[in-house]
Amino acid sequence: MTRHRHTESEIAAKLMTAGEMAARGVLHRDIARSLGISLMTYQRWRKARRASEHVPQAVVNPGRMAASVGCKEVSQISELKIENIRLRRLVADLLLEKLKLQESLQGLSANGRMVERS
């Protein structure tokens, strides 16, 4: 197999085809073979796509995203991803607060009084 540098649009198209094939139950090695790429390349592309879904692309590179999606959609996607990040941080803060409260409740003695900690 000769080396070929695929463009992002080619990768996206091949991953879409691969997703359809995977939904039909085709094995990964057969998917990679039919796409004309190695299994390792296919796995690397899938991993990169999963990682990029968690990063707001409009913030990282707005020009790249604007080529495939309209300007209005880019701003909506960007706002939603930023809101998602904000909500994740909020949940993390609430979980930390919950843990602190649980730790303080464990400090209560059997008679209901707080045990002094130094």
Q: How far apart are CA 41 and CA 32, in angstroms?
A: 8
Residue 52 CA: distances (Å) to CA of 2, 59, 101: 27, 12, 36
**Average pLDDT, stretch 67-84?**
81
Name the nearest CA neighbour of 31 among 51, 48, 44, 14.
14
In tens, the pLDDT along 21-54 reads: 999 999 999 999 999 999 999 999 998 888 777 6
* Model confidence, pTM: 0.43
- Contact present, 109 and 115 (Cβ < 8 Å): yes
**Average pLDDT, stretch 74-99?**
91
Domain ranges of the chain: 8-106
